Structure 1
Amino acid sequence: MLRERSLFLQRGLFLADLALIAVAWVVAYVIRFQVLTPVDSVPLSYYVQFLPFVAAIWGGALLLSGLYQTRRAQRLTLVVWAVARAVGLSLLVSLGASFFYREFSFSRLHMVFFAILSSGFLVGLRLAIYAGLRRARQKGANVRRVLIAGAGKAGQRLSRAFRHYPWMGFEVVGFLDDRGTTVEAEPPDPFYPEQTFTPEVIGTLEEAGEVMDRLASENRPVDMVYAALPLAASRKIEGLAAECSIRTASLALVPDLFHIELLLNSRISDVDGLPVIHLMDEAPFDIRTVVKRGLDIAFSGLVLLALAPLLAGIAIAVKLSSPGPVFYRQRRMGLNGLTFDMLKFRSMPVNAEKASGAVWAQPGENRATRVGAFLRKTSLDELPQFFNVLRGDMSVVGPRPERPVFISEFRHRIPGYMLRHKAKAGITGWAQVNGWRGDTSLEKRIEYDLYYIQNWSLAFDLKIMAMTVVKGFVNENAY
């Protein structure tokens, strides 16, 4: 119910935002050409005919900006920041599109007024909606009373979510738990760190019917019962279903899976009407995935084009440093465990590992050539991997791929190691820009890789790319 109401509000907001953007576009024209400096040579029709294109561009940019994510907090500062980010992205896309249209030049002042007006309208709309909904809820309008069965992590997080979205109109009347009133508050949830409370247990699971009848007699009938219980508690869930079936309360299941530590991209899907719970999965394919791939191709193409003279110089230096090919192809494991040949500039003599076999790079080793040692220290030997990105084997940002021979050892020694292959391997990553590369802690590296996968966004990728450039390519752990 919470998700359905959130989606309804998001779609309504999106349509309202598009309408306000159209209004801001016209009002900006009036201010620029009829109030400040009246100009008859630029009729309103010139700007109105571009409204469909403006709406399409801004609609796509607003969706990509994350403005309609369900976790958006309702603090004024966060609302303003979210709108500012969305407007900034929309303006950037609009200006980029107008660059290719030469038949008509938009007024720069008009675009400034348009940005200010659209920002004000979008923020004002949200403040008006939230203020109206809060006022209506305070008066008891359409409030739905919720009883949560299970006061564990799942139940407490659910209650925090209802408190976090008071404008949704869900009132938690209490918890049912067989532990009685001894249930303690769980540690602060990272999604809602400011909300810490001790759950109010008003009965056991077997007393569900009595509790609902008592609340009904107090003129507080329960509308929804959420069973936030482990999957092993199937008999208790059946008991709740029986009690709800002879009353008007609806029943929803929220499986308590927090005892499973290694969850990744968990979600619920539908297969021919059957609900399927995904505990460990790769990121679902959506528009952001398409945009990420487009950015990978564009960025890699530009890098290879811009650095072509440098790449040619390195290739000559490698060829002159020792006999053998310029490039070194090494088998690595990528997305979903598929292997590929990762390209590098050759930094060691040919057959350097023939006698020793695969060896983990360590400080003080002398296997590299003089040119190769410099390339490794500056990470310039990694530049050919942009060809891997163009081929689709890798992404610009993602967990660094490893050799299968080492993975066979790490997968049994480090919990969750294989989960890093639920994302496409990258040239740079969150672990690398934080110094976890080379002969450093594998456990910390995996921790940072999994954090990246769980919190991935386009903005996160751009941050990592910027950190890679700012911190430079030279690293004390690169050898």
Structure 2
Amino acid sequence: MLRERSLFLQRLLFGADLTLIALAWVLAWIVRFEVLSPPGWIPIETYLGFLPFVLAVWGGVLLVSGLYRTRRAQRLTLVVYAVARAVVLGLVVSLGALFFYREFSFSRLHVLLFAGFASVFLVGLRLAIYTVLRRGRESGRNVRRVLIVGAGKAGQRLARAFRHYPWMGFEVIGFLDDREGAVEAEPPDPLYPESVERPTVLGPVDAIEEVLEARGSVDLVYAALPLAAANKIQIVAEACARHTAHLCLVPDLFGLDLLMNSRVSDVDGLPVIHLLDEAPFDFRQVIKRAADVAFSIAVLILLSPLLAAIALAVKGSSPGPVLYRQERMSLNGQTFDILKFRSMPVDAEAGTGAVWSTKGESRATPVGAFLRRTSLDELPQFWNVLRGDMSVVGPRPERPTLIEGFRQQIPGYMLRHKTKAGITGWAQVNGWRGDTSLTKRIEYDLFYIQNWSLWLDFKIVLLTVWKGFVHENAH
């Protein structure tokens, strides 16, 4: 129910946002050409002709900007930040597209006014909606009373979500749990760090009939129980069937150590819970792939003189090919040949076999050692990105031979293959590269997969450029 209401409000909000974007576009023309300059300098019809294009661009930008994630609409600072990010991204995309249009030049002042009006309108709308809904709930209108069966981690997190979204109008009256007095407050989690309260347990699960009778105004019952408690779920279902309360099942899966991209789908009407899965395909991944291709083409073209110089240096450093091919593993365990500028003699691993590079090793040629220290040996991997083997951002791919040992030693190691491997990643920009803790590296890789967004990718690319390619752990 929470999700359905949230989606409905988000769609209404999206439609209202597009209306306000159109209003900001027209109002900016009025102020620019009717108020600040003589009327009729550029007719409004010219700007209105581009309005459908503007709405299409901004509609896509708003959808991928994270502006409709409900948790962002709670604090004013986060609302302003999310709107500002969407406006900046919208302007960049719009101006980039209009750069190729040569019929006439858009007024720079009009664009600035449009950005200002759009920002004020988008923030103002969210503040108005939040204020109206909050006041309505405080006055007792449209409040739905919720009973949660199960005071474990899932049940408490559910209650925190309802408290975190007060404008949704859900009031938790308490919990049912067989542990009763032994129930303790769960520690905060990243989504709701500020909401920690000892749960109010009204009685054991078997007392649900009495609770529903005594509190006849219960609208929703959430069964947040472990899958092993099927008999308790049956008791709850039978009790709700004798009353008017709706019943929702929230399986408590937090007892499982490893979850990745968990979600619910259906097969011919049968609900299917995905516990370990790759990220579902959506429009953001289309944007990510398009950005990968565009960025890789730009890098290969702009750095072509540098690439040619490195190729000549490698060729002169020792006999053998310029490029080094090595089997690596990427999305869903699929292997591919990664490309690097060769940094070692051709027979460097003839006696050792596949081993991890370590600090101070002497296998690399002088040119190869420099390329490794500066990470310039990785540049050919942009061709792997164009081929679709890799992404610009993602966990660094490893050799299948080494993975055989790693996956037995490190819990969750193979989960890093739930997304496409990358040239740079969250672990790398935080210093976990080269001969460093593999456990910490996996921890950062899994954080990236679980919290992936286009903005996080952009941040990682900026950090990679900002911190430079030279690193003490690069060897």
TM-score of the two chains, using structure 1 as the length reference? 0.97
State whether structure 2 residue 374 is matched by structure 1 residue 378.
yes
Q: For residues 86 and 395 of structure 2, what CA distance do their matches in structure 1 show?
A: 28
Which amino acid in structure 2 is aligned with residue 103 of structure 1?
E
Report 1:257-276 matches (<5 A).
257-276=253-272
Residue number in structure 2 paired with 1:329: 325
Residue number in structure 2 paired with 1:95: 95
Residue number in structure 2 paired with 1:53: 53
Counterpart of 1:437 (choices 433, 441, 454) is 433
Q: For residues 59 and 399 of structure 2, what CA distance do their matches in structure 1 show?
A: 43
Report deviation, 1:10. Answer: 0.2
SS of the residue corresponding to residue 477 of structure 1 reads coil
Contact preservation (8 Å) 2:33, 2:41: no
Contact preservation (8 Å) 1:177, 1:201: yes
Residue number in structure 2 paired with 1:63: 63
Contact preservation (8 Å) 1:419, 1:450: yes
Report deviation, 1:38. Answer: 2.1
SS of the residue corresponding to residue 72 of structure 1 reads helix
SS of the residue corresponding to residue 257 of structure 1 reads coil
Residue number in structure 1 paired with 2:390: 394
Query: CA offsets, 1:418-449, max 9 Å, x none?
Result: 00011111111111111111111110111111
Report deviation, 1:41. Answer: 3.5
Contact preservation (8 Å) 1:148, 1:228: yes
SS of the residue corresponding to residue 462 of structure 1 reads helix
Q: For residues 323 and 44 of structure 2, what CA distance do their matches in structure 1 show?
A: 60
Residue number in structure 2 paired with 1:33: 33
Counterpart of 1:315 (choices 289, 311, 317) is 311
Residue number in structure 2 paired with 1:210: 210
Q: For residues 288 and 317 of structure 1, what CA distance do their matches in structure 2 show?
A: 40
Report 1:6-405 matches (<5 A).
6-216=6-216, 221-405=217-401
SS of the residue corresponding to residue 70 of structure 2 reads coil
Counterpart of 1:406 (choices 398, 402, 406) is 402
Contact preservation (8 Å) 1:181, 1:200: no
- RMSD of equivalent CA atoms: 1.1
Q: For residues 53 and 462 of structure 2, what CA distance do their matches in structure 1 show?
A: 31
Contact preservation (8 Å) 2:144, 2:169: yes
Which amino acid in structure 2 is aligned with residue 223 of structure 1?
D
Question: Which moved further from structure 2: 367-376 or 288-297?
Answer: 367-376
Query: CA offsets, 1:182-229, max 9 Å, x none?
Result: 31100012111111101001111000010110112xxxx111000000
Report 1:407-426 matches (<5 A).
407-426=403-422
Query: CA offsets, 1:331-379, max 9 Å, x none?
Result: 1111110111111111111122122211221122211111111111111
Contact preservation (8 Å) 2:71, 2:165: no
State whether structure 2 residue 449 is matched by structure 1 residue 453.
yes
Q: For residues 413 and 3 of structure 1, what CA distance do their matches in structure 2 show?
A: 39
Q: For residues 139 and 468 of structure 1, what CA distance do their matches in structure 2 show?
A: 51
Question: Which moved further from structure 2: 309-318 or 150-159?
Answer: 309-318
SS of the residue corresponding to residue 215 of structure 2 reads helix
Question: Which moved further from structure 2: 93-102 or 333-342?
Answer: 93-102
Report deviation, 1:181. Answer: 2.9
Which amino acid in structure 1 is aligned with residue 367 of structure 2?
V
TM-score of the two chains, using structure 2 as the length reference? 0.98
Q: For residues 73 and 54 of structure 1, what CA distance do their matches in structure 2 show?
A: 25
SS of the residue corresponding to residue 171 of structure 1 reads strand
Q: For residues 306 and 44 of structure 2, what CA distance do their matches in structure 1 show?
A: 51
Contact preservation (8 Å) 2:348, 2:363: yes
Query: CA offsets, 1:136-158, max 9 Å, x none?
Result: 11121121110000001000000
Query: CA offsets, 1:306-348, max 9 Å, x none?
Result: 1111111111111111111111111111111011111111111
Q: For residues 140 and 77 of structure 2, what CA distance do their matches in structure 1 show?
A: 28
Q: For residues 205 and 127 of structure 1, what CA distance do their matches in structure 2 show?
A: 40
State whether structure 2 residue 472 is matched by structure 1 residue 476.
yes
Identity %: 72
Query: CA offsets, 1:380-407, max 9 Å, x none?
Result: 1111111111111011111111111100
Report deviation, 1:281. Answer: 0.8
- For structure 1, the residue ranges without an aligned partner over 5 or more in a row are none
SS of the residue corresponding to residue 289 of structure 1 reads helix
Query: CA offsets, 1:246-275, max 9 Å, x none?
Result: 110110000101111211111111222111
Q: For residues 53 and 44 of structure 1, what CA distance do their matches in structure 2 show?
A: 15
Q: For residues 351 and 341 of structure 1, what CA distance do their matches in structure 2 show?
A: 18
Q: For residues 182 and 371 of structure 1, what CA distance do their matches in structure 2 show?
A: 65
Query: CA offsets, 1:95-146, max 9 Å, x none?
Result: 1121111113221111111111111111111111111111111121121110
Which amino acid in structure 2 is aligned with residue 434 of structure 1?
N
SS of the residue corresponding to residue 161 of structure 2 reads helix
Q: For residues 131 and 364 of structure 1, what CA distance do their matches in structure 2 show?
A: 62
Which amino acid in structure 1 is aligned with residue 319 of structure 2?
P
Report deviation, 1:39. Answer: 2.7
Q: For residues 277 and 250 of structure 2, what CA distance do their matches in structure 1 show?
A: 19
Question: Which moved further from structure 2: 43-52 or 298-307?
Answer: 43-52
Q: For residues 428 and 323 of structure 2, what CA distance do their matches in structure 1 show?
A: 23
Report deviation, 1:455. Answer: 0.9
Report deviation, 1:49. Answer: 2.0
Contact preservation (8 Å) 1:433, 1:467: yes
Which amino acid in structure 2 is aligned with residue 240 of structure 1?
V
Which amino acid in structure 1 is aligned with residue 233 of structure 2?
I
Which amino acid in structure 2 is aligned with residue 181 of structure 1?
G
Question: Which moved further from structure 2: 336-345 or 66-75?
Answer: 66-75
Q: For residues 470 and 107 of structure 1, what CA distance do their matches in structure 2 show?
A: 33
SS of the residue corresponding to residue 341 of structure 1 reads strand
SS of the residue corresponding to residue 93 of structure 1 reads helix
Q: For residues 448 and 36 of structure 1, what CA distance do their matches in structure 2 show?
A: 52
- For structure 2, the residue ranges without an aligned partner over 5 or more in a row are none
Which amino acid in structure 1 is aligned with residue 4 of structure 2?
E
SS of the residue corresponding to residue 156 of structure 1 reads helix
Which amino acid in structure 2 is aligned with residue 249 of structure 1?
A
Q: For residues 93 and 310 of structure 2, what CA distance do their matches in structure 1 show?
A: 36
